[in-house]
Amino acid sequence: MSANAITPVILGLLAMRPLSGYDIKAVVDRSTRFFWAASYGQIYPELRRLEAEGLVQGEDAPNGGRQRRVYSITPAGRKALVEWLLGRTVTIELRDESLLRLFFADALPKEQALLLLEGRKLGHEQYLAALRAIDARPGQDPEFVDLVLRWGISYNEWGAQWCQQQLDRLRNETKAA
């Protein structure tokens, strides 16, 4: 299997249940987007490629007047997913534009730089609210989906607290100077 960044997302979601491309995007927007985003421009071409490779199979399932194709994972797709899950290479990669801006914030006057840190804190608080809303919905997630949700909640709690601590520290240093 030739894989790209979106391949495991699609195979993993289809291992849970059959979905259309639209459904995959909706699930991503409520789940993996907090750490692994996917766009329609990635999802639909990848579904076609995976179907051509025999890793997923699609079935036309029109909804009213709309064309719709629902995909299921095949045994070969499940095997590819398991191989990826058990693979030896694990990359922890974080792309964080807010952190990149903070890295270069010394180019700004102090008060403007502090606004970047306040924005980061607000971002953590907004993510935290979204994750808590997901956590509060009825029903139960699979065990490891819940595990990742717990990580997201803890990470964003820590992130908001860290930002506040740094804001307090930097403001106190400014007052003392």
Could you state, in order of their start, the residue ranges of all structural domains in the chain?
Answer: 7-85, 97-176
CA angle 142–147–148, rounded 5-degree value: 105
Identify the pLDDT of residue 2: 66
Tens-digit pLDDT profile for residues 110-156: 999 999 999 999 999 999 999 999 999 988 889 999 999 999 999 99
Percent of the chain with pLDDT over 70: 99
Q: H-helix or E-strand containing 16?
A: helix 7-16
Contacts of 127 (CB under 8 A, 6+ apart): 34, 152, 156
pLDDT at 1 > cutoff 70: no
124: exposed, middle or buried (C-beta count within 10 Å: 0-12, 13-18, 19+)? Answer: buried
C-alpha span between 153 and 125 (Å, rounded):
10
R_g over Cα of the chain: 21
Answering whether pTM is above 0.75, one says: yes
Identify the pLDDT of residue 95: 82
| Cα–chain center distance at 80 | 21
Tens-digit pLDDT profile for residues 89-121: 888 888 889 999 999 999 999 999 999 999 999
Contacts of 132 (CB under 8 A, 6+ apart): 153
Tens-digit pLDDT profile for residues 11-34: 999 999 999 999 999 999 999 988
Fold of 7-85: Arc Repressor Mutant, subunit A (1.10.10)
For 153-173, b/e burial (b = at least 16 CB within 10 A) is: bebbeebbeebeeeeeeeeee
Grade residue 63 by pLDDT with cuts at 50, 70 and 90: confident
pLDDT at 177 > cutoff 80: no
